[in-house]
């Protein structure tokens, strides 16, 4: 997989999405 397929990857995706998502 590469960024061209999947877009920018973040190792901390779970924490980042938890900060952004509505409570």
Partner 1 sequence: DVSEQLTPVLLDGPREESLQLVSELQDSSCSCAVDVSTVWWEAAGCRELRVVTASESAVSLWEPLAPACWGKVYTWHLGEMPVIQIVPLPDTCNLVCVALGELEIGEIRLLLYSSETDSFKHSLVKTGNIKAVVGLKDRRLVSSSRTMQEQQVEMVSLSETGGSKDRQTLMPPEDTVTAFAEVEGLREALVGTTAGNSVVVWNLKTGQLLRKMHVGYSYPASICHRAYSDSGLLFVVLSHPLAKESESCGSPAFRVVAFNPCTGRSVGVMFSCLPPGCAGRQVPGGDVWDAVGAAVLTSGAVAVWDLLRGQFVAVLPPGPAGHWALARWAGGGAGLLAGRRDGTVHLYRY
3 CB-near residues (< 8 Å, 6+ apart)? 9
The Cα 21–Cα 3 span in angstroms is: 23
Rounded to a whole number of angstroms, the minimum distance from the CB of residue 4 to partner 1 is 10
Site string for partner 1, 1-23 (x = CB under 8 A): x---xxxxxxx-xx-xxx--xxx
Rounded to a whole number of angstroms, the minimum distance from the CB of residue 18 to partner 1 is 5
Compute the radius of gyration of the chain from its Cα atoms.
11
Q: Which residues bind partner 1 (CB under 8 A)?
A: 1, 5-11, 13-14, 16-18, 21-23
């Amino acid at each position: 997989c590469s960024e061209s397929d999947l877009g920018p990857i973040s190792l901390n995706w779970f924490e980042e999405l938890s900060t952004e998502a509505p409570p």
